[in-house]
Amino acid sequence: MDLIQGFKKRDLSLFNENVFDMLDKEWMLVTAGVENDFNTMTASWGGFGVLWNKPVAIAFVRPQRHTHKFTETFDAFTLSFFGHGNFREALSFCGSKSGRDFDKPKETGLTPITTPIGAIAFQQARLIFECKKLYADDIKSDCFIDLSIDSKVYAAKDHHRFYIAEIFGCYEKLS
Tens-digit pLDDT profile for residues 5-45? 899 999 999 999 999 999 999 999 999 999 999 999 999 99
H-helix segments, 8-144: 19-21, 66-73, 88-96, 104-108
Q: Where are the domains of the chain?
A: 7-173
Residue 149, SS3?
helix
Instruction: Name the DSSP class of 22.
Output: I
Other residues' Cβ atoms within 10 Å of the Cβ of residue 31:
29
Span 88-96, average pLDDT: 95
With a CB cutoff of 8 Å and minimum separation 6, the contacts of 25 are 84
Domain topology for 7-173? Pnp Oxidase; Chain A (2.30.110)
E strands of 108-156, at which residues? 112-114, 120-122, 127-138
Q: What is the pTM of this model?
A: 0.95
Cα→Cα distances 40→35, 104, 126, 155, Å: 12, 8, 16, 25
